[in-house]
Chains A and B, each alone.
Chain A
Amino acid sequence: MASIDLGAARGGSIAETASVVIIAAAFVIPWISQNPAIYSLANQILIGVTAAFSVYIMLRMNLMTFAVPTFMAIGGYTMAILGLRHGVTDVLLLGIASFMVPALFALPLGALVLRLTGVYFVLVTFVLTEITQLLLFEMPGWTGGANGLVGMPAVTLFGIELGDNRAVLLVTTGLALAGALITAAVTRGLRQHFAAIEENELLAQSLGLVVWHYKAFGFAVAAGVSGLAGFALVNMLLTAHPTSFSPLSSVNYIAYTIIGGKSTMLGPLVGGALLIWAGDIFALRGEFSQLLFGFLIVVVVLAAREGIVGTVARLLALLSSRIPRRSTINRGADALGAPAATESQP
């Protein structure tokens, strides 16, 4: 499934650069718009996309994770507790903490759960989110229980308070950009290693790759990126509450990644942006957005395994290869060849 040929690697690099640039472009929103609805939508998209990057990183290793809300909760509550109990408001410090604490948490956890693969990994991460939810309610001393944590001081950057609408969006954008850069750096730097693990873990191991190191590292980074999303979410909502990290919210992040396309970083970005925007259109009838998610997941899995981005890229490639062609003899073979290529996807 993982193709390590140069074309794919180049496509991946382009997608990574494009993703980082697009997210960085969100910095201009506060200067071109005053509309609070747009701010809110941009915040939601950036947070959702950051969380989806976490799913994307794990999918590099052929692991489907449901644990994103767990690490989002750890990141979000870390930020809330530091602000509320210890008076830490510096956005850089909080950002580092909300990345590092989930990542450090993920290391011992990874030692336990990364031995599982496939369906068992899915189940164990699903169980983790359920445990997280229960723990958030059962540890009121730390988490405020069912009331959550409220009243955090506004975050600051070099002493400047970042409390209003515009500043919140800037903080979210900064965190999303950090998440995107980290995701790009890790998936680019370890592309071959991850591809080897995805392709055939046993073979990779027998060829001398210390698979465990890379899986643990990938898991920790994915957890850290989720933590950044959790920080941004708590900062936007002004409260850290268990309902923000519900077990089934992980389905959304998986949906963004799968529907957008799991083969490049643009997938979670495009999927997240389109689906959250679509959800916003249905704002008054939220159930329709879930209906749409479900339908799109089925359609993508059945008919377009590479998701929106992969399908569009394939159509573009098909078009550009068609145009300069002169001979008519090859056309029939090509038309037959194209569907066969999609069929062969396992």
Chain B
Amino acid sequence: MEGIVATGLIGVSLGAQYALLALGFTLIFGILGVVNFAHGGFYVLGGYLAYSAVTYLGVPYALAVIAAALGTTALGYLFERFVLDRLIDDHLATLMLTLGLYLMMSSGLLVLFGPQSPAFSFPLSGVLRAHGFYVPIENLVVLVVCLVGILSIYALIYHTDFGRALRALADDRAVATAQGLRPKLLFPTAFALATGLAGLTGALVTPILSLAPHVGDPVLATSFLIVILGGLGSIGGATVAAFIVGMVEAFSAVYLGGSKGALALFVLVLIMLVVRPSGLFGHRVRGA
């Protein structure tokens, strides 16, 4: 019983991290119609920014996380504004551009920091013990921050004018633009918000999992999985799917071992893509 609860907690914690990543990914697709292959790259960049701030500037970890989120936000803004925006309606072109950016980011980090993982660990350690099960404090902190992040995104998207504007643009860009919304301003902002979320997740999670230039690859694959499962562009779908994937990963790692859980998930997603491309909760298929 304790084992199941402990594994469940790991699943929830993984799910919260994935949700934060996938929300950014799905926002970018829903609003801009761009499949962001560089999403894993922003995650790794966030990790390295936080690591550099802590190691070379001696900044406290909490501030380093904020700096990493701001840094990735800024890069995302500039990339959308000056590169992506020029071809925003060509799905394959934007896909290639983000792919190119990802190759540059991951190899650039490899050139700067080398292939080995730097020593970067979470500043808090210890274990909470209650009723026979154990929860590492670091996981708890990450979980809380991620949950706050997810709730903030929901508030932002559903309860502010900015969020309404983004949803209007996602719904029908022509009409929204005719109503006076400005894609030139809102698109880079939305992209920056999403990449900032990826950077925040990276800064939070890489000290616990691992930090190396290539850790963006599995992050990209997982983001794909979740977003397809939940329905491309669906915010609620991505959140639910993230927790499903987190749970499946946690339980299959503990009880099945190997990569059978991942295999099952990928096959599930393949079937999903073929049978119901709009995903579990997607109601609208973008004409992509």
Interface residues of A (CB under 8 A from B): 64, 112-113, 115-120, 122-124, 126-128, 130-131, 134-135, 137-138, 247-248, 251, 254, 258, 285, 287-288, 290-291, 293-298, 301-302, 305, 346
Contacts and interface: CB of A to CB of B under 8 A. Distances in A.
Max count, chain A CB within 10 A of own CB: residue among B86, B104, B111, B217: B104
Contacts of A119: 29, 33, 35, 91, 95, 232, 286, 288
Contacts of A123: 35, 224, 228, 232, 273
Interface string B189-225: 0000000000000000000000001000100010011
B99 interface: yes
B110 A302 contact: no
Contact of A134 (B90, B232, B266, B269): B266
Given A127-B273, A131-B270, 4 more contacts: A118-B92, A122-B92, A138-B258, A294-B105
B182 interface: no
A134 B263 contact: yes
Q: DSSP class of B's interface residues: helix, strand, loop or mixed?
A: helix
Interface in B245-288: 258-260, 262-263, 266-267, 269-270, 273-274, 277, 286, 288
A127 to B, nearest CB: 5
B93 interface: yes
20 contacts: A117-B288, A118-B92, A118-B288, A122-B92, A124-B270, A127-B224, A127-B269, A135-B263, A138-B260, A138-B263, A248-B217, A285-B111, A287-B107, A287-B111, A293-B103, A294-B105, A296-B100, A297-B96, A297-B97, A302-B87
A297 to B, nearest CB: 3
Contact of A298 (B97, B111, B258, B267): B97
Contacts of A258: 96
B97 A302 contact: yes
Given A113-B274, A127-B269, A294 B100 contact: yes
Contacts of B33: 119
A295 B106 CA distance: 12
A293 B108 CA distance: 12
A311 to B, nearest CB: 16
Contact of B221 (A247, A254, A346): A247
B4 interface: no
Contacts of B286: 119
A291 B107 contact: yes
Nearest to B271: A112
Interface string B93-134: 101110111111111101100000000000000000000000
Contacts of B263: 131, 134-135, 138
B83 interface: yes
Contacts of A120: 232, 273, 277, 288
B282 to A, nearest CB: 11
Given A112-B274, A120-B288, A298-B101, A131 B266 contact: yes
B273 A116 contact: yes
Contacts of B97: 297-298, 301-302
Nearest to A246: B217
Interface string B228-239: 100010000000
Given A127-B224, A302-B86, A297 B260 contact: no
B101 A131 contact: no
A116 B260 CA distance: 27
Contact of B106 (A131, A290, A346): A290
A138 B224 contact: no
B87 A301 contact: yes
Contacts of B101: 294, 298
Interface in B43-74: none
Q: Closest 8 CB pairs between A and B?
A: A294-B103, A297-B100, A294-B104, A290-B107, A298-B100, A287-B110, A119-B288, A291-B107
Interface string B12-36: 0000000000000000010001010
B223 to A, nearest CB: 11
Contacts of B96: 254, 258, 297, 301
B273 A295 contact: no
A234 B138 CA distance: 45
B259 A137 contact: yes
A221 B189 CA distance: 43
Contact of B99 (A116, A138, A251): A251
Contacts of A127: 224-225, 228, 266, 269-270, 273
A134 B221 CA distance: 13
B102 to A, nearest CB: 7
A117 B100 CA distance: 22
Interface centre among B29, B35, B103, B225 (most CB of A within 10 A): B103
A127 B111 CA distance: 29
A339 to B, nearest CB: 14
Given A122-B35, A247-B221, A131 B267 contact: yes
Nearest to B286: A119
A290 B105 CA distance: 10
Contacts of B35: 119, 122-123
Contacts of B107: 287-288, 290-291, 294
A29 to B, nearest CB: 30
Contacts of A251: 99, 103
B9 to A, nearest CB: 26
Contact of A291 (B86, B103, B262): B103
Contacts of B92: 64, 118, 122
A35 to B, nearest CB: 29
B83 A302 contact: yes
A240 B239 CA distance: 39
Contacts of A128: 270
